[in-house]
Amino acid sequence: MTDRYAVFGHPIAHSKSPLIHAAFARQTGQDMTYEAILAPKDGFAGSVAQFIAAGGRGANVTVPFKEQAFALANRRSPRAEHAGAVNTLVFDSCGILGDNTDGAGLVADLSHNLNCAIAGKRVLLLGAGGAARGGIGPLLDQQPAALVIANRTISRAQALAELFGHGITACGFNAANMPFDLVINATAASLAGELPPLSPRVFTADTLAYDMMYGRDTPFLAFARSHGAATADGLGMLVEQAAEAFYLWRGVRPDTAPVIASLRQDRLEGESL
Ligand code: NDP
């Protein structure tokens, strides 16, 4: 029987996950379907229960349900515990396993697709929300020389630094004013078309500026470019986190490069991502 998977969100119509997983399934010959489910804002758990009853084997979870998915899982991976949020669910005979593949997706995109080794680098992470928190553990695993978390609300950055330890520095945006090798924008500023109040001194010609946001150029990327940095958006992260989820469900690693290339081509041809 064909195995069923889905992504739950609200809204969900914009999601590229069905396209990405359909491409992975074709490429690897897996007998599965993957659909987008609009869960009511106050009905996430009920929607998931219905899907499981209808034979669902696993799911991705996106905004605004990642914390609810964390609570719903009766077992969680260490990286989900670290992230405090779940973006991937596995339904099995023991119940619901919650995992978080966002941080692994970020690191895979940086190291495999963008050839940006993190070991020994000075990394500035902007933001202290869910995406930033999910990235910290996988970034630390790569042993950067330094990891600085800058956030608008400094206390949230400090709370993350305390949670993870390992000599992470927390500060406000104005205190991050020295050069970094890698600057990752994990704030939601780009979603609103805004630029985090960042010193241009964080960028040099050797800096990679990475915005987790994807689908359009952002004020952060334009600002970084205008100060000489190389830039990348989060489309590769989106595909890599999906590949990691696919591997959890199916035990097969898809080749992400052609899927990223095809999504970039769609964007060039004017489709919104
Ligand atoms: P959250 O709402 O959890 O976090 C928002 C963060 O952004 C907070 O640190 C907040 O600061 C900060 N922020 C919001 N607005 C501004 C602003 N105008 N200037 C400066 N800082 C601001 O969001 P997420 O962590 O879930 O998502 C963050 C980004 O990551 C989004 O763009 C999202 O699309 C992207 N993302 C991409 C993924 C991918 O696969 N490529 C996966 C997951 C997320 P404060 O604490 O002060 O409120």
62 lines ligand 1 (CB under 6 A): no
> What mean pLDDT value characterizes the chain?
96
Give the distance (Å) from ligand 1 centre to CA of residue 186. 5
CATH number of the domain that residue 88 is part of: 3.40.50.10860
- DSSP reduced 3-state for 156: helix
Q: Are 191 and 211 within 8 A, CB to CB?
A: no
Report pLDDT for 267.
78
Q: How confident is the model at residue 103 (pLDDT cuts 50, 70, 90)?
A: very high
Cα distance from N-terminal residue to C-terminal residue, the chain: 32
pLDDT over 90 (residue 271): no
Say whether both 115 and 184 belong to one domain: yes
- Among the ranges given (99-103, 147-151, 162-166, 260-264), the one the predictor scored with the smallest mean pLDDT: 162-166
What local confidence, expressed as pLDDT, does residue 166 receive?
Answer: 74
Residue 167: predicted pLDDT: 79
The CB of 99 under 6 Å from ligand 1? The reply is no
Confirm whether 273 is domain-assigned: no
* Predicted pLDDT of residue 63: 92
128 lines ligand 1 (CB under 6 A): yes
Same domain, 132 and 188: yes
Q: Is 264:239 a contact under the CB 8 Å cutoff? A: no
Question: CA distances (Å), 153 to each of 120, 129, 158, 168, in order?
Answer: 28, 10, 9, 16
Are 155 and 182 found together in one domain? yes
Domain of residue 13 covers 3-100+238-268
- Calculate how far, in angstroms, residue 206's C-alpha sits from the geometric centre of ligand 1: 25
Both 118 and 208 in one domain: the answer is: yes
Judge if 77 and 171 occupy the same domain: no
pTM of the model: 0.96
For residues 203 and 256, membership in a common domain is answered with no
Judged by DSSP in three states, 249 sits in: helix
CB-based burial, 65-89: b 16+ in 10 Å, e otherwise:
bbebbbebbeebbebbebbbbbbbb
- By residue count, the chain amounts to 273
At 273 the pLDDT is 62
66 labelled catalytic: yes
Q: Same structural domain for residues 20 and 134?
A: no
Structure token pair of residue 67: 């914390």
- pLDDT of 34-83, one tens digit each? 999 999 999 999 999 999 999 999 999 999 999 999 999 999 999 999 99
Inside any domain, residue 39: yes
Count: domains in the chain: 2
Say if residue 125 is in the same domain as residue 216. Answer: yes
Q: Whole-angstrom Cα distance, residue 272 to residue 215?
A: 7
Question: Hey, which of 152, 194, 244, 267 would you mutate to test ligand 1's pocket, going by the most ligand atoms within 8 Å of its Cβ?
Answer: 152
Angle, CA of 111, 148 and 110, to the nearest 5°:
10
| 0.95 surpassed by complex ipTM | yes
- pLDDT tops 90 at residue 266: no
Do both 31 and 83 map to the same domain? yes
